[in-house]
Structure 1
Amino acid sequence: MAHRNDPEVIARLLTAPGRWAVVGLSQNTARAAHRVAAGLQQMGHPIVPVHPRAEEVHGARGYRTLAEVPGRVDVVDVFVNSRRAGAVVDDAIAAGAGAVWLQLGVVDEAAAARAAAAGLDVVMDTCPLIEVAHLPR
């Protein structure tokens, strides 16, 4: 069965305070992850860059893996291609994240099912900056 995004989950994740780990975020300003992370910060969400280079981005310290991130991560925002998304989702489950958000174009039905079965909220194939425009004002 195909995953269907729940508008109430999307609204809660975007409006409730929460720390977002952005997997795939680097200093490359041409990448969508860079713009989305800035938008998340503007919405009041602290971000944690997760990238093999562990770069500082938007003033936030970077980490190579989710397992290295200290403290709670509320949402893991997945900015990797669909072939790699399942491993990131498994890392999010292992890290005790509350939700996974697979970005626009990132689809892995099996990973979404694993996350949901583990009790995580799941949003897939959309972008927070698109969805925030649909929230009631």
Structure 2
Amino acid sequence: MTFSNPTRERLKEILQASQNIAVVGLSDKQDRVSYMVSEAMQAKGYTIIPVNPAAKGPILGQTTYAALKDIPVPVDIVNVFRRSEHTPEVAEEAVAIGAKTLWLQLGIASDEAAAIAEAGGLEVVMDRCIKVEDSILLPQGKSGQ
């Protein structure tokens, strides 16, 4: 079966219903795309939860966790900034913590990760930038709709 992303309308619903976004591979370097995207999403009102085992402290003012399983609050979206070959493991972790959506950033896709996540009941978005989609679908923010 060929993977297809949710419709734009469904992406809007996912974003509207989501608050906590765990960002796997979030860099503490401000010039990295993961940092810029997460900073923009945080400014739009989402709670960003950094996941980076190499980080030496908070990122974007938030406690950084080594793994998804260490996060003490429910996660709506697991947003992934890791190479495609690392995403099946992330998908397994996302299923294990009961996340609702696995979102692989622009340029990242894995049929294996998608199959794992879907089998675990998660919705899957691949090869899409969450910041771009949010800007297009919710230009006024979640409360402005």
- Scaled to the shorter chain, the TM-score interval is over 0.9
Number of residue pairs the alignment of both structures matches: 137
In structure 2, runs of 5+ residues without a counterpart are 140-145
- Letter paired with 2:9: E
* 2-structure distance, mates of 1:76, 1:88: 9
Query: For each residue in 1:65-111, what CA deviation from the matched residue of structure 2 results, as whole angstroms up to 9, or x when unmatched?
Result: 01111120111001100010111111101111111100001110121
**Of residues 58, 66, 69 in structure 2, which corresponds to 1:67?**
69
Aligned counterpart, 1:19: 20
- Letter paired with 1:61: T
* 2-structure distance, mates of 1:96, 1:15: 18
Aligned counterpart, 1:87: 89
User: Following TM superposition, by how much is the alpha carbon of 1:116 offset from its aligned partner in structure 2, in angstroms?
Assistant: 1.2
* 2-structure distance, mates of 1:43, 1:133: 9
* 1-structure distance, mates of 2:10, 2:59: 27
Aligned counterpart, 1:40: 41
Secondary structure of the residue that 1:62 maps to in structure 2? coil
* 2-structure distance, mates of 1:18, 1:29: 23
Quick one: percent identity of the two aligned structures? 39
User: Following TM superposition, by how much is the alpha carbon of 1:16 offset from its aligned partner in structure 2, in angstroms?
Assistant: 2.5
In structure 1, runs of 5+ residues without a counterpart are none
> 1:9 touches 1:121 (CA, 8 Å); kept in 2?
no
- Letter paired with 2:107: G
Query: For each residue in 1:34-66, what CA deviation from the matched residue of structure 2 results, as whole angstroms up to 9, or x when unmatched?
Result: 011111112211010000124311111100001
Query: For each residue in 1:9-47, what CA deviation from the matched residue of structure 2 results, as whole angstroms up to 9, or x when unmatched?
Result: 311222234200000012111211101111111221101
- Letter paired with 2:130: P
Secondary structure of the residue that 2:69 maps to in structure 1? helix
Normalised to the residue count of structure 2, the TM-score between the two structures is 0.88
**Of residues 113, 116, 120 in structure 1, which corresponds to 2:115?**
113
